[in-house]
Amino acid sequence: MATGDPTTEATRPGTLVHLPRTADPKPLPDPRLTDVDEWGRSEKTRQMARRLYRPLYEKYFRVEWEGLEKIPREGGALLVANHAAAIPSDAPAIMHGVEEEVGRPLYGLADHIFKGMPLIGTAWARAGGVPAHPENAYRLLREQQQLVLVFPEGGKGPGKTYDKRYQLRRFGRGGFVEIAMRAGVPVIPIAVVGAEESMPIVFKIPGLARALGVPYVPITANMLLLGPLGIIGYFPAKFKLKVLDPVHFDVPPDQDRYSKSRVMEEAEDIRVSLQEALYEMLRQRKSIWRG
Amino acid sequence: MGKRVLITGLGTFWGGRAAQALEKDPEVEVIVGLDTVEPKVQLERTEFVRADQSYSILARIVAATQVDTILHTFLVVDSSRMSGTKMHEINVIGTMNLLAAAGAAESSVRHIVVKSSTLVYGSSMKSPQWFREETPRAAPPKTRVERSLIEVEGYLSDFAEDNPHVVVSLLRFSNVLGTDIITPISKALQLPVAPSILGYDPMLQFVEEDDVIRSIEFVMRNQVPGVYNVAGDGRIPWSECAAVCGKRLVPMPPVFTNVAAAPLELIGLDLPPETLDLLRYGRGADNRRLKRAGFEYRYTTAGAVQNFAEASRLRGAVGDSRPAYRYERDVEAFFRHSPAVVRD
């Protein structure tokens, strides 16, 4: 500072100061210019994203839901789904479907890595993405009773090659179950068929991934067939989504700890039911492209 | 007998404004203010004592004045244009001496209020959206000011443990905006264009000046022990802050941002590393514990930004029209001690 003040948090020289009007401690209004909420989500951005995505959703992937009525119209719930495709195509489909059909915002938890990426991080936050931190999940589910989507397989789901399609990876350490228990909300599994074929990984280049510091560098069938366009161009696989019965945990919320064995057991049960639902749906599927 | 208060950092925004507020309180009998520089605001009855930055004379002052309350505002929370050594001297050594004086045998001190900052939570992509007082940092501290404040808080919690008879209140303030305070963020918002980092639009949180002082008053009056975040409700994007202030954003590159920010010093804007982190990832502090203790905020985050924008526009239109205050030792001593002055 010019005054040589060692703390630099100084007042402007020559300014008389208004004392706080303690006699009138009435809270003032909250003047906002945008509709960006505390999570960085903007309903206007979502509306625009949904308008742009609708042709893809309706005409290209021809998304079909079963059991959408199992997603509650009010109260918090943690939606979990299988995760697939080199650039996951399931997250936008689920978010679009739930927000359009149920009419509630859906926050998607994902790795904090996205928050670190310029442009992508901001776009992701405005579209309802939230870094997967237990504090964030608890506040969304318990205190704000929102709908939250998480993929328990994490990056291992989209990062698997095509020969392992529809085979669920490990469900992390069961953290999603613990969060739902603490928040006192049900877990609602969603089985997604179609995403695997929209951008299948033929092989991966682990050396390059290590060098770039990213989870995986895929060579997809799309790239082999479409060239550079295949980096973002999906195949028009038919999407079918099935909502399974909500799983309620018979435990009190807000505990500091939950039995690890119970958590792992519940997580494994959910994984098995999701896996079985996927096999059943694949048994019924006559064509990858027509469903 | 009324309260006897010692304020450190009387020459700063925090100390000066807090002293003014305390002067209005009839329950406060004596106010002694310490600083290395003279106070910049007009004070009625506060006694100013010049001290060196690490407070070597503090033990004597505490013993001589028999203060029961210490308000420690002399902590650097903005590292722009200050050497690491000096900041260490002020924050860490200064607090150490202060606590040594307060914890001495026969010390009269029963309440210590310390101004810290939400900088102790850091600002990283791993951070949760809201930090509660007990939420641990998501990443180790990278900047000097963060490390030094964490060290200060460590001393304070040791002190609280060793001195159960002293009420220790630790306030962590989020970024402050208001009519008078100057910070890197307020300077950035008063340039013709505001700097941002390309591709990032972080969610920021502010607390208004008046709420800062009101919260200090509140904590002193009610003697609430413990750690409290002091921050306005809600968080708003940096782009919205700039829009409220009517400024366009000029992006800096997302890589080598510190190099790109360095030339801004030529126009008087020093963006220290912790501010650059903030402009990338933002930060939020959960303010509900202080509310549960009974404090009511007047301004939300958006309200603080709006108020700041209005004050800046007014200043831009009419300038600093009010006369400058200059501390004159003899004049102040006359008003306080001369028998010629009629006191009630």
Degrees (nearest 5) of the Cα angle A55, A59, A61?
A: 100
A20 pLDDT tier (thresholds 50, 70, 90): very low
Residues in Cβ contact with A286 at an 8 Å cutoff, skipping those fewer than 6 apart: none
> pLDDT value at position A7?
47
Taking CA–CA distances from A110, the nearest residue in chain B reads B126
- With CB atoms and an 8 Å threshold, state whether B296 touches A27: yes
Q: Taking residues A21-49, report their average pLDDT.
A: 86
> pLDDT value at position A291?
84
> pLDDT value at position A18?
47
User: Looking at CA atoms only, how far is residue B105 from chain A in angstroms?
Assistant: 31
Residue A2 has pLDDT above 90, yes or no: no
> pLDDT value at position A249?
95
- With CB atoms and an 8 Å threshold, state whether B302 touches A31: yes
pLDDT tens per residue across span A132-171: 999 999 999 999 999 999 999 988 999 999 999 999 999 9
Give CA–CA dist B242/A220, Å, rounded: 42
Give CA–CA dist B8/A81, Å, rounded: 56
- With CB atoms and an 8 Å threshold, state whether B16 touches A130: no
- With CB atoms and an 8 Å threshold, state whether A27 touches B297: yes
Phi-psi region of A228 (alpha: psi -120 to 50; beta: other; left: phi over 0): alpha
Degrees (nearest 5) of the Cα angle B114, B116, B118?
A: 150
Taking CA–CA distances from B127, the nearest residue in chain A reads A133
What is the pairing mode between strands B111-117 and B167-173? parallel
- With CB atoms and an 8 Å threshold, state whether B233 touches A30: yes
Q: Which member of A15, A31, A131 has the closest CB to residue B306?
A: A31
- With CB atoms and an 8 Å threshold, state whether A25 touches B132: no
- Selected for mutation to probe chain B from A1, A5, A9 (highest B CB count within 10 Å) is A9
Q: Which member of B86, B128, B281 has the closest CB to residue A133?
A: B128
Chain A to chain B Cβ contacts (< 8 Å): 187
Give CA–CA dist B122/B172, Å, rounded: 12
- With CB atoms and an 8 Å threshold, state whether B86 touches A13: no
CB contact at 8 A, B177 and B305: yes
Residue A13 has pLDDT above 60, yes or no: no
Q: CB-based contact (8 Å) between B296 and chain A?
A: yes
- With CB atoms and an 8 Å threshold, state whether B82 touches A29: no
A29 pLDDT tier (thresholds 50, 70, 90): confident
Give A115's contacts in chain B (Cβ within 8 Å). Answer: 125, 281
Query: Is A213 or A101 the better-scoring residue by pLDDT?
Result: A101
> pLDDT value at position A27?
86
Q: What is the mean pLDDT of chain A?
A: 90
> pLDDT value at position A276?
97
Q: Which member of A11, A30, A31 has the closest CB to residue B16?
A: A11
Q: Taking residues A217-239, report their average pLDDT.
A: 93
A6 pLDDT tier (thresholds 50, 70, 90): very low
Query: Is residue A157 helix, strand or coil?
Result: coil
Q: Which member of B53, B90, B300 has the closest CB to residue A30?
A: B300
Alpha carbon of B68 to those of A148, B22, B218: distances in Å? 50, 14, 17
Alpha carbon of B12 to those of A75, B40, B279: distances in Å? 48, 8, 25
Q: Which member of B179, B240, B306 has the closest CB to residue A36?
A: B240
> pLDDT value at position B344?
63
Mean pLDDT, contiguous 10-residue spans, chain B (344 residues): 90 91 92 91 90 80 92 89 86 92 91 96 94 94 93 96 96 94 92 94 96 94 95 96 95 91 86 94 96 95 95 85 72 82 74
Q: CB-based contact (8 Å) between B54 and chain A?
A: no
Q: Which member of B199, B234, B324 has the closest CB to residue A122?
A: B199
> pLDDT value at position A15?
45
Give CA–CA dist A181/B300, Å, rounded: 32
Give B77's contacts in chain A (Cβ within 8 Å). Answer: 9
Give A5's contacts in chain B (Cβ within 8 Å). Answer: 11-12, 37
Alpha carbon of B341 to those of B97, B258, B334, B336, B337: distances in Å? 36, 55, 8, 8, 8
* Tokens representing residue B170 in the block: 């630790």
The CB density around residue A224, as the number of other CB atoms within 10 Å, is 10
> pLDDT value at position B132?
96
CB contact at 8 A, B74 and B98: no
Query: Is A148 or A11 the better-scoring residue by pLDDT?
Result: A148
- With CB atoms and an 8 Å threshold, state whether A11 touches B182: yes
- With CB atoms and an 8 Å threshold, state whether A8 touches B182: yes
Backbone dihedral angles phi then psi of residue A159, each to the nearest 5 degrees = -85, 5
Full 3-state SS string of A34-54:
CCECCCCCEHHHHHHHHHHHH
> pLDDT value at position B277?
94
- With CB atoms and an 8 Å threshold, state whether A27 touches B135: no
